[in-house]
Structure 1
């Protein structure tokens, strides 16, 4: 790392019905940005009902929630609302519905890489 300053750790959780794929995709993004951000994938839930318990179980609290593309826009909004109600100030990002089917896992990584700086700053 070029700087002697340690990067702050940000815990990220995902809401994805394919947890192994989530781990691979997010792992690739984390690897690609490790020079700029210290992100830890702290957990995944496969259900909307699991969002609040997952958020409450991660300590320190997660700073980011990624919502996978298999959810409808309405479900993504519900997931993000649960996240914001549970952890005020959490950053959320919903991958556009259907994107995984269109572009595959590498396309999701590319999509997130194009947006990670915006997601981290918002």
Structure 2
């Protein structure tokens, strides 16, 4: 029996380690693929890239990685929301990757992303 997946959702990350971001997001997408159609469209390596990337790709959701301070993550989210009103943003808690490793990031995303995606109307 075929289940209806929600989406497609376009996702952008803000992470200074793009290969690590791609691996972690790939794991999350794989874990959620039976329920959600998520397309990972871009990564910004700097805060300065956020505005143009959001303008270009018009993502539904943007994640800021755990290397950013709370203040930087807030700024990233504000920029994304300014460029695309209605975008959903999520800041991964500062230091989670360094403290607990990539598995903790995937676990965090698995707990937090489904309610975010469920709140998006396409």
TM range (shorter): over 0.9
Q: Name whichever of 5-14 and 89-98 sits farther off.
A: 5-14
TM-superposed CA distance for 1:119, in Å, is 1.9
C-alpha distance in 1, partners of 2:63/2:109?
10
TM-superposed CA distance for 1:6, in Å, is 5.7
Pairing partner for 1:72 from 69, 72, 95? 69
Structure-1-length-normalised TM-score: 0.92
TM-superposed CA distance for 1:8, in Å, is 2.3
1:26 aligns with 2:22: no
C-alpha distance in 2, partners of 1:105/1:2?
32
The 8 Å contact of residues 64 and 92 in structure 2, kept in 1 or not, is answered as: yes
- Report how many aligned residue pairs link the two structures: 119
Pairing partner for 1:109 from 85, 106, 120? 106
For structure 2, the residue ranges without an aligned partner over 5 or more in a row are none
What is the CA RMSD across the aligned residues, in angstroms?
A: 1.3
C-alpha distance in 2, partners of 1:73/1:120?
22
Aligned to 1:97, the other structure's residue is in SS state coil
For structure 1, the residue ranges without an aligned partner over 5 or more in a row are none
Alpha-carbon displacement from aligned partner over 1:21-70 (angstroms, at most 9, x marks no partner):
00000010001001110001100011000001111111xx2100000000
C-alpha distance in 1, partners of 2:15/2:7?
25
TM-superposed CA distance for 1:121, in Å, is 2.9
The 8 Å contact of residues 5 and 34 in structure 2, kept in 1 or not, is answered as: no
Structure-2-length-normalised TM-score: 0.92
Pairing partner for 2:96 from 99, 104, 113? 99
